[in-house]
């Protein structure tokens, strides 16, 4: 994974970094408010209380039980979409249940917003960018052995999905008998592209941009001024209320 650091609280500087990093187009972006956090799907952060079989098989059973509980308990509130392997996990992930999916956006500004939204915290933030090895629904993939990241577009469950230009990546548990390896620690994730620094050879289309803590507030304010805020990314009164509170905290409520 290539890593770089934003030097100025400038969206132009951010886009300049993005354009320098590997891969011509088709990136997905993910913002994290703490640059030290690893890229691990919520399912794999847990310890399944299931015995027998490999670690991967235990997670398969654990996830299936969590999905079953989500749909059983959530039945009165479910949107009218057809059930399938990918739809079930997209819906569960969207509403906070643990799955093997990670949330991404096709819009780097949306990812940057999620990275710096809590600008008052004392940690650096980060934006990850990746071109996954494949774009398929997981149930349409016959062999996962050569694939570590598979992207798919979720159904428009609610207005947040299109507003945030949401995408999910699916991550199988490999190797099956070992703990899940965080994505940023994997040398061969993301498609192969030409070396972005002109040194010949190739590089993986997977990168991390660190946003130092002192730059977060100004980036948050710049994003707010162009409408990248809770009001627009979370359509509805909850989003309006959260945006009003955030602007009050930053002194930009007018």
Evaluate whether residue 22 is within a structural domain. yes
Question: Could you tell me the residue range of the domain that residue 157 belongs to?
Answer: 2-39+101-250
pLDDT in tens, 114-136: 999 999 999 999 999 999 888 88
Is there a domain that residue 17 lies in? yes
Question: Considering the domain boundaries, does residue 244 fall inside one?
Answer: yes
What's the rounded Cα separation, in Å, for the pair 254 and 174? 50
What is the pLDDT, as a whole number, of residue 20? Answer: 85
Tell me if 183 is assigned to some domain. yes
Q: Is residue 6 one of the residues assigned to a domain?
A: yes
What DSSP line would sit under 115-177, residue for residue?
Answer: HHTTTTSSS-EEEEEE--SEES-GGG-S--TT-S-EEEPPP--STHHHHTTEEEEE----STT
The pLDDT value recorded for residue 146 is 72
Residue 95: inside a domain: no
With respect to residue 216, please indicate whether it lies within any of the assigned structural domains.
yes
Residue 253 has pLDDT above 80, yes or no: no
């Amino acid at each position: 994974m290539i890593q770089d650091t934003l030097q100025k609280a400038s969206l132009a500087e951010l886009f300049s970094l993005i354009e320098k990093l590997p891969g011509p187009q088709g990136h997905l972006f993910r913002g994290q408010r703490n640059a030290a956090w690893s890229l691990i799907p919520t399912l794999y952060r847990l310890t399944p209380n299931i015995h027998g079989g490999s670690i991967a098989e235990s997670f398969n059973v654990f996830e299936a039980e969590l999905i079953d509980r989500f749909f059983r308990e959530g039945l009165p509130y479910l949107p009218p979409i057809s059930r399938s392997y990918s739809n079930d996990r997209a819906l569960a992930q969207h509403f906070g249940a643990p799955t093997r999916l990670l949330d991404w956006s096709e819009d780097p500004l949306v990812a940057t917003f999620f990275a710096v939204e809590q600008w008052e915290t004392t940690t650096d933030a980060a934006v990850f960018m990746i071109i996954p090895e494949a774009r398929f629904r997981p149930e349409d993939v016959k062999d996962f052995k050569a694939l570590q990241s598979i992207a798919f577009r979720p159904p428009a469950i609610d207005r947040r999905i299109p507003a945030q230009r949401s995408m999910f990546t699916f991550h199988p548990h490999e190797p099956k008998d070992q703990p899940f390896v965080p994505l940023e620690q994997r040398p061969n994730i993301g498609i192969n592209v030409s070396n972005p620094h002109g040194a010949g050879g190739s590089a993986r289309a997977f990168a991390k941009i660190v946003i130092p803590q002192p730059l977060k507030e100004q980036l948050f304010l710049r994003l707010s001024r162009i409408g990248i805020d809770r009001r627009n990314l979370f359509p509805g009164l909850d989003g309006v209320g959260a945006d009003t509170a955030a602007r009050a905290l930053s002194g930009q409520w007018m």
